[in-house]
Amino acid sequence: MSHTPEFDPNSVGLKSNNIFGLPFSEEQSQLILLPVPWEVTVSYRTGTARGPENVFNAAMQVDLYDPDVKDGWKKGFHMLPVDKNIRTKSDYLRQCVELIISHMVEGGDVSDNAQLSEKLVEINNGGKMLLDWVHDLTSSLLKKGKMVGLIGGDHSTPLGFIKALSEVHPDFGVLQIDAHADLRDAYEGFTYSHASIMYNVLHTIPQVSKLVQVGIRDYCDEELDIINESNGRVVTFFDRDIKTREYEGDTWKAICNDIIAALPQKVYISFDIDGLDPKLCPNTGTPVPGGFEAEQVFYLFRQLKASGRQLIGFDLNEVSSGNHSGDGIDAITGARVLYKLCNFMVG
Q: What is the pLDDT of residue 16?
A: 79
- Asked whether the beta carbons of 326 and 139 are under 8 A apart, the reply is no
Q: What is the pLDDT of residue 323?
A: 63
The rounded average pLDDT for each run of 10 residues, N- to C-terminus, in the chain (347 residues) is 68 85 96 97 91 95 95 97 97 94 91 94 97 98 98 97 98 98 94 97 98 98 98 98 98 98 98 97 94 98 98 97 69 97 97
**Residue by residue, what is the 3-state secondary structure of 258-269?**
HHHHCCCCEEEE
Query: What homologous superfamily is domain 19-346 in, according to CATH?
Result: Ureohydrolase domain (3.40.800.10)
Phi, psi torsion values for 291, nearest 5 degrees: 90, -170
Provide the 8-state DSSP code for 343: H
Give the closest residue to 164 by CA, choosing from 134, 192, 208. Answer: 134
Query: To 5 degrees, how large is the angle CA 42–CA 178–CA 282?
Result: 65
Phi, psi torsion values for 47, nearest 5 degrees: 125, -20
The model's pLDDT over 103-155, given as tens digits with 9 standing for 90+, comes to 998 899 999 999 999 999 999 999 999 999 999 999 999 999 999 999 999 99
Q: What is the pLDDT of residue 44?
A: 86
Provide the 8-state DSSP code for 81: P
Domain ranges of the chain: 19-346
pTM for this one? 0.96
- How do strand 310-317 and strand 147-152 relate by DSSP bridges? parallel
Burial class (CB in 10 A: 0-12, 13-18, 19+), 117: middle
Sheet holding 310-317, edge to edge: 77-79, 31-36, 147-152, 310-317, 266-272, 172-177, 208-216, 234-238
